[in-house]
Amino acid sequence: MNAQQQLKEDIVRICRMLHRKNYLAATDGNVSVRLGDRVLITPSGINKGLMEAYQVITVDLTGRVLTGEGQPTSEIRMHLLAYELRPDVSAVVHAHLPYATACTLAGIDLLEPILPEVMITLGGIPTAPYATPGTEEVPEAIRGIIQEYDALLLSRHGAMTVGRDVMDAYNKMEKLEHTARVVLAARLQGPLPPLPAAEVEKLRHLAEKYREGG
To the question of pTM greater than 0.85 for the whole model, the response is yes
Query: Would you say the C-alpha torsion 79, 163, 36, 4 has a positive or negative sign?
Result: negative
Q: What is the pLDDT of residues 102-119, one digit of tens each?
A: 999 999 989 999 999 999
CB distance 74 to 134 below 8 Å: yes
Residue (of 89, 86, 9) closest to 52 by Cα position: 9
Residue 128, classed as helix, strand or coil, is: strand
Q: Which helix (H) or strand (E) holds 172?
A: helix 166-187
* Active-site annotation holder among 52, 75, 137, 174: 75
Q: Fill in the amino acid letter for 98.
A: P
Class of domain 3-211: alpha beta
In this predicted structure, what is the pLDDT of residue 129? 96
Q: Torsion angle, CA of 153/56/87/156, rounded to 10 degrees?
A: -10
75 in active site: yes
Calculate what percentage of the chain has a pLDDT beyond 70: 99
